[in-house]
Structures are given as C-alpha cells and as structure tokens.
Structure 1
Amino acid sequence: MRYIHKGQEPESLLEYRLTPHATYEGLPQEVKDELRERLAREQGLLCCYCMQRIKPEPDGMKIEHWASQSAPSTRHRQLDWKNLLGACKGGEGSPQRQQHCDTRKGDTPIKVNPTDEGCERLVRFLADGTIASQDAAIDGDLDQTLNLNQARLKHNRRAILDGFLEAMRRKYPGTTWTEAAMARELEELMRPDASGRLGEYCQVPIFWLKKRMGRLAQARP
C-alpha cells in the first residue's frame, strides 16, 4: 500500500453531484468512465490496496468507496471524490479465501486509508512478502479484511523485492551501496513512466530503500 495524493475531482462528477437526488448508482456511464480513467491515472495504474496493475476499463478495475456507500453513517460520502479509489477486481467470483482488496472488504470499515499522508509509515513489508503493521487494528485490516497476504500477492511482493535486490547487486557491485545511489533508485521507483504507470508493487522496494537509507543516516557521526 502506498500513499495516494488525491488531485482535483473531475468536473463531470461535481456537476452530477449537484443535481437533485444524485446517487452513485445513478451515475451516468460517461461520468463513471471518466472516474475510472482519473482514478487509475492518479494511482499510477495500481490498485489502491494491493498495488497490482489496474486498467481504466469496466473489466480492468473497480471504483472503491473507502467509506461504505451504503452504510447509513457514511452514505453521504458516496459521491465524495476523496472517498473514491481505484481497486483491482480482487478475485471477484473466487471463493472468499482467495478474494482480496475491495472484493473481500465489501462494506467492512477499515482504519488504514491510502489517502492519509502518513499511511506509509504504518505499513511494513517483510522479506518473505508479508505486509504487516505494528498497529493491531491496521494489521487486521491488511491481513484479514483486505486479505493482502493471500498467497499469490505475497509471492508477487517477494518476487519484486528479490528481483530488485538482484538488479541492485548487478548495478552496484560490492557489499555497500552509497546513499546517493539509493536515492537515485528511489527517485526512479517513485516516478511514473511515459505512460503514467508506476511499477507493480513498487512500494515494496521503496520501503526497503527508505529503511536502509534511514539506517545509514542514523549511523553517521
């Protein structure tokens, strides 16, 4: 999971929200299409939760409501741009144990929010691909409600980290990598490509680099 900076909402969403009795279910198709496009692009075409690739098409992603659109206490946020995220299909149609992200979450409220600027400090990635948090409630969000330690996702995160570390060893031979070298790699990981895409599961090597750079900074006299 990575922090998602919410940009300006689409004009079409604002116009529709101001119409009498506007609801998410009543969204015109062209507005929903624009929503998918804008959400996917501001997220680097990554799922807001698991960070696998999404596509701005009906069969390539879902529009997620972080706060439930149907719960009485949060129904008023069903057309709130800051409450909308782009999520993967999350194993839709599979047994529940294989589902993840929005498909698994449903209307269950969660504490962890990708649009909170400090969310990345609350999440850590272990060498075996596990995603976890020292905050018990958030750890439950990640592991149970969102099922982000589902076997395939965990395997994919580990493969991304292993591949990144191997590439670093080839690019920077030796046992110690300089802070400048790691800063360059960090900048590259955080920058979308020419098509606006971030690398799948990019927050895993980003977390690893930031952790290692932090240790270097602490070791300086």
Structure 2
Amino acid sequence: MLRIMKRCTPKSLSEQVIRIQKTEEWQRLNENDVNVIRSYFDSLDKKLIRDNLVDEQHGLCAYCMKRIRKEDTIVIEHFKSIKNKEFALDYQNMYGCCDGGRNIIKSDRKILCCDASKKDRELTINLQDENFISSIKYTHDGFIASSDYRADMEINSVLCLNGLRDEKGNLKYDTATQIVAGRRAAYRSFANQMERLNKKLGNKERMYAEIKKMINNIENSDEFPEFAGVTLYFLRRRLRNIS
C-alpha cells in the first residue's frame, strides 16, 4: 500500500454534486434508500472520476498496487459505504481499484481481493494517513502486514491481500489476481538489482547515492511501477542499513 494524496475535487464534478444535493428527493433520502443513492452516484461523470483517480494514484490500485489504466473500467471504491449519503457523492471518499478478480475465470478456488472482497464493509485503515502507511511491512515471500492489529486483520480478512493462508501462515491459495506472487516478484527484482549494484559500485557511499536516486525516481514519476510499495519498502530499509 502507498499513501494516497487526494487532490481537489474536479470543478465540473463538484457542480454536478451540488445540483443533485439541492433536489428535494436527495434531501429526503436516508441510508435505507441505497438503490436511489447509488443511481445518483451512477449519474455522475464516471470517466472524469476514473481518470482523476488513476492520476492521483499514479496508475496503481489503491489497495493491492496492481496496474490500473484510464482505458480500463476500473472500480470506483467508496471508502465509507455508498449507503452513507454524506459520502456517496464525495470525491474525497473515492479510490480507484482493480476488479479484484471478478472477471477472472478460474477452475480452482477463486479468492477475490480489494473492493471485490471488501464490498460495503467499512475499514479503519486510512490510506491518506502517513502513520498507517508507516505501519505496513512486506516479506520476501510476498506477504503484506501491519504492526497495528486491527489494520492487519482488515488487510487479511476484509481486503484479502494475502490470499488464503493455512493455520501455519503459509499460502494456500493466492488471489485470483496473483498479488502475493506479484509482490514476491517485486522483492526478487529488488534483490537482484541490489546484487548487481553491489558488484558494480562496491562501496557504501556510491550505493547510498544510487539507492536514494532510485527512490526519488519512483516517488517523482507520474506512473509508479506495479507493487511500488514493496520496492520502496525494501529500498528504504537498505538505505537505513547503509547509513
């Protein structure tokens, strides 16, 4: 996971929302009218929303960090449930997500993740909170965890970002989108890169400068590489070890 810096709500979207909120029907709605609330959300400019979400998330799913693109029909995820009228049309409550495996056909057990697993459940984790992001750690075998007990439970049981594990914590089934394998591959790519750099550069000072450059290149790019959170986690850890 990566911290998401929400940008300003697009002006034309704000105007759409204001027009809706002024209607008598909208003002009468409560959380039991979820189908009507959803129909109002569906009337918004979805392409505008998706395009802006992809840009502010640097082309990655908010939860699993797989690639999302503007030309794809990405899922617009409501962090606070859409049945909550106060947040249903609020761009600041929206994230861009992959399909979570909904459209993948599998012959064996199919494990959904991200929004597809979360559904309308609400999370305590906050992707805009630096403290939460700092609690995230990754392992060389592709797992993600949080030092916060509640957040770790949500990562595993609500978002299913570690697929299905057995009682010993070993991977039993990856998600349909293969995100555990993807994070594991990101770690291996990092490890191979560090091995090559160590042979090429040789000393700590040059390694430190090169790793810092790699971090800056990722952080300042418009489109992040898939599973960038894994790469950045291990790069920063290596940087601390050198210093």
TM above 0.5, yes or no, is yes
1:172-213 residue CA offsets vs partner (Å, 9 max, x unmatched): 414857322211111122232xxx311000110101111222
Give the secondary-structure state (helix, strand or coil) at the position aligned to 2:157: helix
Give the secondary-structure state (helix, strand or coil) at the position aligned to 2:128: coil
Please identify, of 113-122 and 18-27, the stretch whose mean Cα deviation from structure 2 is larger.
Answer: 18-27
Residues 54, 60 of structure 2: 8 Å contact kept? yes
Q: Which residue of 2 aligns with 1:203?
A: 229
Residues 101, 116 of structure 2: 8 Å contact kept? yes
Q: Which has the larger radius of gyration?
A: 2
Aligned identity (percent) is: 29
Specify which of 38, 43, 55 is matched with residue 52 of structure 2.
38
* Paired residue type of 2:7: G
Q: Which residue of 2 aligns with 1:123?
A: 136
Specify which of 79, 83, 88 is matched with residue 89 of structure 2.
79
1:5 and 2:5 aligned: yes
Distance (whole Å) between structure 2 residues aligned to residue 143 and residue 207 of structure 1: 19
1:52 and 2:72 aligned: no
Specify which of 214, 220, 224 is matched with residue 191 of structure 1.
220
Residues 50, 201 of structure 1: 8 Å contact kept? yes
Q: Which residue of 1 aligns with 2:77?
A: 64
Distance (whole Å) between structure 1 residues aligned to residue 64 and residue 42 of structure 2: 28
Specify which of 94, 110, 117 is matched with residue 104 of structure 1.
117
Distance (whole Å) between structure 2 residues aligned to residue 181 and residue 93 of structure 1: 40
Distance (whole Å) between structure 2 residues aligned to residue 30 and residue 111 of structure 1: 27
1:145 and 2:174 aligned: no
5+ residue gaps, structure 1: none
Residues 53, 88 of structure 1: 8 Å contact kept? yes
Please identify, of 130-139 and 59-68, the stretch whose mean Cα deviation from structure 2 is larger.
Answer: 59-68
Give the secondary-structure state (helix, strand or coil) at the position aligned to 1:169: helix
Q: CA RMSD in A?
A: 2.2
Specify whether residues 31 and 162 from structure 1 end up closer, same or farther in structure 2 by C-alpha distance, changes over 3 A only: same
1:215 and 2:241 aligned: yes
Specify which of 193, 197, 202 is matched with residue 167 of structure 1.
193
1:154 and 2:168 aligned: no
Runs of 4+ that moved beyond 3 A? 21-24, 27-30, 93-97, 174-177
1:113 and 2:142 aligned: no
5+ residue gaps, structure 2: 27-36, 164-173
Distance (whole Å) between structure 1 residues aligned to residue 43 and residue 18 of structure 2: 17
TM-score, normalization by structure 2: 0.79
Residues 16, 27 of structure 1: 8 Å contact kept? no
Give the secondary-structure state (helix, strand or coil) at the position aligned to 2:39: coil
